[in-house]
Amino acid sequence: MSRSRPYGMSSLLVYAALLVLCDGLNDADYYNKRSKILRDESLLTLGGKTTLGDKETIVNNCLMQHKFREVDYSFDNPEYFNLSHHYFIYKDSIRKSKVYKILKDIPKGAALHVHDMALLGADYLMNLTYVPGLYVCFGVNDILLKFSNTKPNISCEGQWQTMTNARAASKNVTQLNEKLRRHFTIVVNDPDVEYPSIKETWTTFKKFFSNVHSILTYRPIWEQYFYDALKKFREDNIMYVELRSILPQLYELDGTVYSSLITAKAYRKVIKRFKKDYPDFIGAKLIYAPARNVNQTTLDAYLQLARDIKADMPDLLVGFDLVGEEDTGNPLIEFVKQLRAASTEFDYFFHAGETDWFGTTTDENLIDAILLGAKRIGHAYALIKHPILMKEVYERDIGLEVNIISNAVLSLVRDTRNHPLSVLLANNMPVVLSSDDPGAWEAEPLTDDFYVAFVGAASKLSDLKLLKQLAVNSLKYSALDRATKVEAMTKFNNKWNKFINDFDCSKY
């Protein structure tokens, strides 16, 4: 692990003194000092002390040749720099990038921050609308969907009919399908018009979850969806996943509704099946992450459910979190007594500081996340504004789950060069990259985030060493037990070596 030097003011003070001493240097000494600063900063950055073998150096040369070409072109033509625009504008075009294609093939370790309802995108969800048993009601402003044996007994502005009949009766099936597809995505052609502020973005984002809820929670669909999601993550060269789930209640065609414990059991069943089919896959674990916008009584009920799941499936449940829009939800401080009392029972992986605000209850969530002993922090977007917390995170070695595309799409930042990830990487903070809700914005499980981070936030000079360290970090900061972590690292090293040995620059 390359934790090259303690984060803190001391190293900065040394450099301040060094710069003062530059007065009166001869030219050669001046250039030497300048080179030393550059060299030391590059060693200080995340992955900066990782060393590359001969074959890795060949891969790195290819990767960096393409990266420099892309970045240099944008430096000279900033109006064409994709990552200064909205993700929806460039998401399709980055897939043609040679850097992107290399990143797609690179073993990326684990995805540690993803929400189960948004793992797969609109194309997948559209296919589910052809599964028999689906009823639909097209209202004036909404579409309701439900799998059922009989016409659903749910109030609706229009008429319930089977999806098969709706398509057969439609005069324009293409238009019907387009309307349905829009129901399953937050991607739009004109994001700057549709999403002028975080308020509109979050309104649509929350609606996305209610839209997909009824179609995904039909039990057989849920199990297949989760299996297919793991498959897609594996194809994106991810070997392990930690899922956050609100544990939605699953249902059957006859109207039977199960408890959330059954949802957790469904996970365990699917993970077992998937690992049997793909023995190279390490698996998946669950972080129970219900909504934060609740009262203390409901939080007690959440904690009790977490206890029940842990008692029944200690191999599945690895921790607890609270989710939802942080600026408008309840801050952690409101639940501190209960969360402190339960901190010996659960590992915490709190979302905290997912905000542009400074000096508010939202960025102060970072204080509580750290004081409550969080093993990792979700987003930590506002962390760089809190120097004492930066130091605490470094010293306690708390993994920071950065989801750069999520932050851009959900209106925290536009130009990704301004994302705090650049500061975190420059200071060798314990970063892991993840993707949060890739299905909601139709991103690949992790490659899009790696690309945007690598080209749009990391230094132009950051190379394969950074990518390797990020992948290693994703396993290091995972909630796997010690023995499985060792096994995962061995499997990762094998995959990495195969990628390096098989690499052919002319393929890209």
Q: Rank residues 436 and 449 by Cβ distance to Zn ion and give the closer one.
A: 436
> From the CB of 35, what's the least distance to Zn ion, in Å?
41
> From the CB of 376, what's the least distance to Zn ion, in Å?
12
Q: Rank residues 152 and 329 by Cβ distance to Zn ion and give the closer one.
A: 329
Q: Which three-class secondary structure state does DSSP give residue 110? A: strand
Q: Rank residues 419 and 465 by Cβ distance to Zn ion and give the closer one.
A: 419
Q: Residues touching Zn ion: how many (CB under 5 A)? A: 1
Q: Rank residues 236 and 436 by Cβ distance to Zn ion and give the closer one.
A: 436
Question: Looking only at residues 23 through 52 of this chain, which bind Zn ion when binding is defined by CB under 5 A?
Answer: none
Burial of 507 (0-12, 13-18, 19+ CB in 10 A): exposed
Q: Rank residues 147 and 350 by Cβ distance to Zn ion and give the closer one.
A: 350
CA dist., res. 286 & res. 51, Å (int):
34
Q: Is 363 in the site for Zn ion (CB under 5 A)?
A: no
Q: Scanning the structure block, which residue is given the tokens 């206890």? A: 307
CA dist., res. 383 & res. 389, Å (int):
7
Tokens, residue 135: 């009823």
The one-letter code for the residue type at 62 is C
> From the CB of 436, what's the least distance to Zn ion, in Å?
5
Q: Is 436 in the site for Zn ion (CB under 5 A)?
A: yes
Single out the segment in contact with Zn ion by CB under 5 A; choices: 78-86, 124-132, 310-318, 431-439.
431-439
Query: Of 289, 125, 115, whose CA–CA distance to 205 is shortest?
Result: 115
Q: Rank residues 56 and 436 by Cβ distance to Zn ion and give the closer one.
A: 436
Q: Report yes or no: 300 and 335 within 8 Å, Cβ to Cβ.
A: no
User: Closest residue (Cβ) to Zn ion?
Assistant: 436
- CA-based radius of gyration for the chain: 24
> From the CB of 388, what's the least distance to Zn ion, in Å?
25
Q: Which helix (H) or strand (E) is 402 found in, with range?
A: strand 399-402
Catalytic residue among 56, 70, 242, 354: 354
Q: Residue 421: CB partners within 8 Å, gap ≥ 6?
A: 402, 404, 431, 453, 457, 458
Single out the segment in contact with Zn ion by CB under 5 A; choices: 3-11, 383-391, 434-442, 490-498.
434-442
Q: Is 449 in the site for Zn ion (CB under 5 A)?
A: no
Active site residue 379: yes
Catalytic residue among 379, 386, 401, 442: 379
The one-letter code for the residue type at 117 is M
Angle at 196 between CA 190 and CA 201, to 5 degrees: 85
CA dist., res. 432 & res. 294, Å (int):
29
> From the CB of 477, what's the least distance to Zn ion, in Å?
16
**Eight-class DSSP state of 312:** H
CA dist., res. 173 & res. 151, Å (int):
22
What is the four-CA torsion angle of 433, 437, 441, 446, rounded to 10 degrees?
Answer: 30
Sites of contact with Zn ion (CB under 5 A): 436
Active site residues: 354, 379
